[in-house]
Amino acid sequence: MGAPTGDPPAIDFVTNSSLGLPPGGSNGTTSTTTEPSGGATAGGVVFATANWIAAYSTNGGASFQHADPSTAFPNDAVGFCCDQIVVYVPSIDRFVWFLQGGGDNGYRLAVASPAQVISNGVNGWTYWNLLPSVFGATAGTGFDYPDLSVGDNYLYMSWDAGDPCPKGCNSGHQVARTSLAGLQAGGTITIDFTNPNTDQNVAWGSHLTQNPGDTIYWAGHYSNKQLRVFSWTEGSNIYYWQNVPIYSWANNSPLTSETPDGVNWVNFLFNPTTQNPKGGFPDNSVLGATRSGSQLWLAWSAGTDNNFPQPHVEMVTLDLSNNLNLIQQVQIWNNFITFAYPALATNACTGEIGLSLESGGDSVYFENHVVGFWGDFTVYQTTGSNLGDARYGDYVSIRQMPGTDANPGNLFAAFGFGINTNAHAPGFTSDVHYVQFGRPPSSCKSGGNGGNLQ
């Protein structure tokens, strides 16, 4: 359906700040594969990452200090490669920083309080080295593309296991959990984890559900008309999956969405390349996932057909109280603009679904970060790109902001980016933005469904 006439509900934009990253390219430290992630506290501390760099703010995002993750920790068996995820956990007052190790060395899991970030920046974090052997993986098994989610009592971690995959390795999407209390205590932690073989690579490249409450969910496409939804409840040592019927959707490739300088910015998303001859990445993986009350929302990048002349986002709502039955299947689309890389979160006050994604194309629009609410039929551009790139990053992110007296759970923290030429150095700048947005504070007084948040 098309957008209705009339103005959408009010949205407050509290902050839209650039991290001010150094120029990228041959002499820089950032890449167009930026993949921004971060968390923000009620005390004005923001901690963010963008693939190879970290940044933190102690003044609510007005300015950022940059740091090198490769020197923040000892040069030990894990080391540092690239991908990073950050979340803030209000219930234990900790930032959680999940860093991909160098080579095939697993991950580093680190925690620090906002007060420690103010005092020490990236130094002095408590951390644990999670080598592949911790998860029973064959030596040389590659772990890639991490994600995090915070439940009622557990931190959930995920990654793709098996790239590369030596003889005897288990290949597939793997999910692990550890208790929030253990992270807060800072001592020995216990980790439970799934067998990556069991998902048959169905969930490869997918992200974890945000705001999961007492059950974590993740999903992938079993077919063009079926989702396979995985679930793992707190207190249970068994995880489950079931196939859920949905309507067929456009999953054609290759796809084209050109920027004004003639660059296909979704080239790597779907299209086979020399780096990935079998197809692009993350392709149609379920990147957007959140829980709102008894509903599970899942979203992914999709292709074109007679109804959708531009690549678009498919999104479904499933009923958690009724065997995951399909409630609705909707799209984020426009006749002239491509939408891709969806991230979802749930508003603590109203239960509405917040959106963070990328848009552009039709030879008129550069790729840019946009945010909004599902149901408003409007998104708001946060960046101002003037340069296209065919190897765009693999995700953006959105998280629920902790509540304060002034903003009691009505705001999101979103992280996205654009790409700009740099007048002072060769190459480009990946312009990562930290955005606080949401409904006005009065929305919290009108009665919402909560959304099962921390």
Among 98, 202, 129, 120, CA closest to 160: 202
Q: CA angle at residue 37 from 34 to 43, to 5 degrees?
A: 140
The reported pLDDT for the residue numbered 63 is 94
Residue 33 pLDDT level (bands cut at 50, 70, 90): confident
Three-state DSSP class for residue 445 = helix
- pLDDT exceeds cutoff 70 at 426: no
Residue that has been written with the tokens 């790239």 in this structure: 163
Would you list the DSSP string of 26-91? TTSS--S---EEEEE-TTS-EEEEETTEEEEESSTTSS-EEE-HHHHS-S-SS---S-EEEEEETT
Task: Please state whether the predicted TM-score (pTM) of the whole model is above 0.75.
Answer: yes
pLDDT in tens, 85-107: 999 999 999 999 999 998 889 99
With beta carbons less than 8 A apart as the criterion, state whether 256 and 264 touch: yes
Query: What pLDDT is attached to residue 364?
Result: 96
Contact 267, 390 (CB under 8 A): yes
Q: How many CA atoms lie within 13 A of 4 on its CB side?
A: 7
CA 240/CA 167 separation, integer angstroms: 27
- Tell which residue, 348, 301, 393, has the closest CA to residue 50: 393
Greatest Cα-to-Cα distance within the chain, rounded to the nearest angstrom:
59
Which helix (H) or strand (E) element contains residue 411? strand 411-421
- pLDDT tens digits along 139-159: 888 899 999 999 999 999 999
Q: Which residues contact 445 (CB under 8 A, 6 or more apart)?
A: none
Which range (11-20, 207-216, 270-279) has the least confidence?
270-279
Can you tell me whether residue 226 is helix, strand or coil? strand
The residues with which 353 forms a beta bridge, in sequence order, are 346
Q: Helix, strand or coil for residue 265? A: coil
DSSP string of 357-408, one letter each residue = EEEEETTTEEEEEEEEETTS--EEE--------SS--S--EEEEPPP-SSSS
- Residue 25: pLDDT band with limits 50, 70, 90: low
Give the pLDDT score at 210: 97
Whether the per-residue pLDDT at 446 is higher than 70: the answer is no
The contacts of residue 327 (CB under 8 Å, 6+ apart) are 295, 316, 317, 318, 319
- Rg (C-alpha) for the chain, rounded Å, is 20
Residues forming beta bridges with residue 39, ordered by sequence position: 47
Mean pLDDT score, 39-49: 94
Q: Above 60 in pLDDT, residue 348?
A: yes
pLDDT at 451: 39
Domains and CATH numbers, the chain: 12-445 (2.130.10)
Segment 296-325 mean pLDDT: 97
